[in-house]
Amino acid sequence: MTILDFGLGEAITGILSWLLPLLALIVVLIFFITRFLPSIVPQAKIVHYSCIPVFSIIVFFMGVNWNEAHWLAQLKLEREKYEQAKQEQAKLNEQLIEKRKEITDALERGNASLRAANASFIKELQKKDASVAGLLSTLDQVTREKYMALDQVQKAEYEKQLQSVIDFEKKCPIIPELYINKMNDRARNKSDKDAKK
């Protein structure tokens, strides 16, 4: 910690700001007294001529003190600006954290709804009496809207693809669900081995 941290620099500068001019005034008075009333002061000539360098030194220290006071005021202003910027940065950081949390929550909700839609699609697909209409009813809202926006030819092609998925399921009823779950788990919990790939 420096002297400035305790406010001692400001205290000394404040004391010197009135003490040095007072000393300068006293030296000027002694100078004139020894010049015009030499009988009052013993060895008046020595005191008279020594007042000039003493006065010069006092004026020099007055300048030093004024410079110190100026820079202390500048330092105080800069510290206030720094503290204000620090508070503003803390507020901005809080806002960013809140926005990130909102976005993360929205993504989590979206992922949860997609997982639920996928699970219902797979359940519908695994039924013995699975149909294209049944699979279409399990689609999530976005996919359903995309399907509704298709023209008749594209809808027929999409339904044909769904029918081929159903036919494949009936011919090969073992859905590689364990493999899918394993891949989902691996995607959620990436290991060091997967990160290297």
Domain locations along the chain:
3-91, 127-196
Question: Measuring CA to CA, how many Å separate 67 from each of 8, 22, 60, 70, 73?
Answer: 16, 18, 11, 5, 10
More confident residue, 29 or 129: 29
**Residue 191 in 3-state DSSP?**
coil
Instruction: Using a pLDDT cut of 90, give the percent of the chain over it.
Output: 29
C-beta of residue 169 within 8 angstroms of C-beta of residue 125: yes
CA 166/CA 36 separation, integer angstroms: 123
Average confidence (pLDDT) over 41-64 = 90
Residue 68: both structure tokens together: 């110190």
The DSSP secondary structure of 105-148, one letter per residue, reads HHHHHHHHHHHHHHHHHHHHHHSTT--HHHHHHHS-HHHHHHHH
Q: What is the pTM of this model?
A: 0.46
What three-state secondary structure class fits 2?
coil
* Residue 20 in this model has a pLDDT that exceeds 60: yes
Q: Is the pLDDT of residue 4 over 70?
A: no
d(CA 57, CA 55): 5
